[in-house]
Structure 1
Amino acid sequence: METVLEVRNLTKTFPKRGSREALEAVADVSFRIEPGECLAVIGGSGSGKTTVAKMITRLLPADSGQIFLMGEEITHAKGKALRTIYRKMQMVFQTPAESFDPRRTLGESAAESLCNQGIGKAEAASRVQELFLRCGLPEEYLMRYPHEVSGGQCQRAAIARAAVLHPALLILDEATSALDMTVQKEILELLSELRREEGMTYLFISHDIALVQQFCDRVLVMDQGRMIEEGTPDEVIRAPRQEYTKRLIESIL
């Protein structure tokens, strides 16, 4: 089967405020994700993990390197090509309410992504209703606005909005970190169910290695923009090779 995502030598720098020097946020990062896999990228604040996700989704341009989605290079995609890419790849953010238009209902926002792909309003509404139900949101939530629901309910709606397009890749950027433990567990169960039933592939961005151990197949550790360690969650937790990884584990477990 075709590799879902391949990143080759990805690099990103930002100018330092008040300095001629540049901050190397991501340095020569490479990895692959295979179909049905859940790959975690973990690290502390400023490690570069979210910058990697933003470059993959084209929210930030890469300075150098290449990004391939389902075998197609998307490193410099824009315009119509980018709309096609977003049908294959979706992202769920840490604070879902901020990713919804406050003037639209949750149902309208979720249907918009389908309508943008040329699907009629009636079919879009039907698909969204089905996904909301599968994500644990009764029909009345279609008519609610982001500020009218809890954080967990809003995150369920965000997952439904992303999953309704049946993307090849779903990127989850700290998607459960703002939720309490009970809701976090429910969201992870929902994501596991979608993975089993839809064969979805996940890139899971997190700082929480204990959470990653429960949910992911493989983990990459980032520090200061570089990939420093890779393995299964059990391998990384039980026998970390890098001092940074050891400190990261000790701070969480």
Structure 2
Amino acid sequence: MPHLTPKLLLGASALLLSVTGAHAAEYEWTFQASETAGEPSFKVKQEWAERIGTMTDGRVQIELLPINAVVGPTETLQAVSSGILQGHMTDPSYFSGQNPAFGMLGNLVGAWNDPYDFLEFMKQGGGEELYNELSEPYGSHLIGAATFPLESVPSTVPIESLEDFEGLKIRAPQGMVYNIFERIGATPVNLPGSEVYTGLEKGVIDAADSTVLSNNDAQGLHAFAPTRSTRASTPCR
């Protein structure tokens, strides 16, 4: 049965470092990610942190913690700024409440035909400079951006057309994605990714715009939301 494939959404997975770093010969940093510890994408980020340690001969050690380990997902930017965290790997859309421009860089709906278009924009088209204009007033600096592959939209009901979104309670991140779901008649609910499972289980939401298929399967979302639509996206995680 065919399912609606919404427009391409692409986001920056922002890796931010505190501007006020240590000056000792050895650096021990704590980063927070936007996934739970069991999600495959969190494990990928952990492997990255381990490679940093190997490539620097142990001079740089990064402890990567899962979502909510230190602060909530909307609070990591301030936590980096204040030195509670030394960095984070997350979706900039979480900070739309502080500046709507974060939402545009986190999920700029329909802007990209391919993930590599986004990466080229960040490296060659001024994207990194633009992002740092946003982040540096908070005492942080973007050192890299990444994308994710095709996302799934687990749902308790079939989604085969735009009309099927009418009245649908769907988890959506802050920013443009949230607004677009509103415009097509859905009722978006701003839940952190860590609460999607219980939200579907308890009927708080009917569907979720929530990360990639491998993460959703690892969390067991199919137990409550057996219907899946897909969207080409890289929201940042």
TM-score of the aligned structures, taking structure 1 as reference length: 0.28
The structure with the greater share of residues assigned to helix is: 1
